[in-house]
Structure formats: structure tokens, C-alpha cells
Amino acid sequence: MSEKGLQVADEGLEDIEIALLLDGVYRYYGADFREYAPASLRRRVREAVQREGVESVSALQAKLLHDTSCLERFLALLSINVTSMFRDPAFYLAFRTKVVPLLRTYPFVRLWHAGCSTGEEVYSMAILLHEEGLYPRCRVYATDMNPVVLRRAREGIFPLASMQEYTVNYMRAGGKRFFSDYYTAQYDHVIFNPALKANLLFSEHNLVTDGSFNEFHVVLCRNVMIYFNKTLQKRVHNLIYESLVMFGVFGVGNKESLRFTPREKNYDVLDAGNRLYRKVR
């Protein structure tokens, strides 16, 4: 009970404010974050409140709805883009040894990186496929909801300072050449060899609001669904299931799995530790 004797809800005020804000952003702009995982979402909203210099989540809501530049900043804040080349080298090593032999049996291979961020994962895959002699018959679709990161992904320009870490990752991932064969350094950046881009296709796609757009032999969706709540995860698992050919391969992040999802029974495990699965029914 508040001072005036009004009934105050059990649910925290901030939770209500966040729900209202997300609803407003969805109804007005069509950007749908209503089913993102609540804890990390709350952190982002609080950070936006601070950065925008407003007093409360409700005040942020008002600013978001009346000021599109505020919305753009908010969208940028909500898309967590941290990524790196050959992140989790063991994953790529397992991909080489367990997935590549399967892919050799197809005359033409379509891969989909869902939530590719700035593209490091995509260029890593292009290098791997190239070294395995598969690249000429592959088409790699790389999508993200965020047009800003996609623009960077298309350029294929990455900070020079990251190359030391990536080189170590590349070697651990079973790399067969010198990592530096693949890029040219320019000032504090490197540009990846344009030949690697030949079969890459970057485009905007939102896993929440867009549907299946092709049939793939491989779908990688790593460290993207951790930002979704369980209901939304289920939906996206269905979307990915529908987008895979029978016996297609599905890879998720190191700390994700198909356990606790309704599609678990549709996949066989190809490599449990490296989170590689194969659609079998």
C-alpha cells in the first residue's frame, strides 16, 4: 500500500516501466525486443537512462518515442556485437574434422550465419572453407538485424591490434597457412583479401520478425539466442529447423545447447562439446 492507500503492484515498478517502453518501441517503430532475456535487457535500459541523461525509464520511453535519433542510439546499445575471428578455436577445428567431410558430398553448399555482427565469424569460415577447397562451391549468407554492423562486415576491415589474438586462434583452429596471407595491413587496420568475399552475401534479417528465406546445409547461430528469453528461443529454434535441409548441420555458441528446447529430438549430436548438431528428423 502506498501513502495514499492505493494498491501498489507486486511487480517492481522498473519492470513495468521497461515492459511499457518495449511495447511502445514495438508499436511505434516495429522493433521488437519484448521477448529478450530480461536481465541483460535491464542492464541495457539502465545504461540508456544514464547515457541519455533522463530521470527514469518512463522518461526514456518518452524521449525514445519523440526523438528518432534517441531510438537509433538505443538500438545500437541493444545489439551486443562483441565477436572475434576463430572465437573458440576448438569449434572451428571440430567443424573441419566433422562437418567438412559431410559438406564434400554436396555439389553446392549454402551456409547461414544468423546474427553475424561485424563479420569476424564469417571471414573465419570463408578462410576455413577456402583451405578445405570447398569455398568455390559455397555461398555464405550472413545476416544481422543491425545495419551498422553489417556495413562493417561487408567492408572486411578489422583492427590491426586484434590480429595477434586472431593469429593464435587461427592456428589453434587448425589453420593451414600463415594467417597474414589473408590480409594486408594499412595503418592500424587490416583489409581481408577481396577473394574471400566473392561468395559472401550480407543482408539484414531479424530473427524475431522475419521468416525463413532459404534452405541451408549449415546454419550457425552463435551467441545470439542467449539474448532471447525461452519463449523466443523456441520460436527461433523452429525457424532454424525449418531453414535446414534434412541432415543439415546446426552450430550454436559454447554455452548454448539444444537441451531445454523443443527441437532437441530432431537433431543428432555431431560434437557435444563444440555444440554441433545434425538435423535427422
Q: 157 - beta bridge partners?
A: 191
Q: Closest distance between another protein and the C-beta of residue 178, in Å?
A: 23
146 scored as a contact of ligand SAM (CB under 6 A): yes
Nearest to another protein of 36, 192 (CB atom): 36
254 scored as a contact of another protein (CB under 8 A): yes
How many chain residues interact with another protein (CB under 8 A)? 25
Out of ligand SAM, another protein, none, what residue 115 binds, judged by CB under 5 to 8 A for its kind, is ligand SAM
Out of ligand SAM, another protein, none, what residue 9 binds, judged by CB under 5 to 8 A for its kind, is none
C-beta separation of 264 from 238 below 8 A:
no
How many chain residues interact with ligand SAM (CB under 6 A)? 22
Q: How far apart are CA 219 and CA 95, in angstroms?
A: 12
145 scored as a contact of ligand SAM (CB under 6 A): yes
Per-residue mark of binding to ligand SAM, 113-132 (x: CB under 6 A):
--xxx---x-----------
Q: How far apart are CA 127 and CA 170, in angstroms?
A: 10
191 scored as a contact of ligand SAM (CB under 6 A): no
Per-residue mark of binding to ligand SAM, 55-84 (x: CB under 6 A):
------------------------xxxxx-
Q: How far apart are CA 114 and CA 9, in angstroms?
A: 39
Q: Closest distance between ligand SAM and the C-beta of residue 104, in Å?
A: 25
Residue 237 grid cell: 529454434
Touching another protein, residues 75-134 (CB under 8 A): 80, 82-83, 88-90
C-beta separation of 214 from 112 below 8 A:
yes
Q: Applying CB under 6 A, which residues contact ligand SAM?
A: 79-83, 87, 115-117, 121, 144-146, 149, 206-208, 222-224, 227, 253
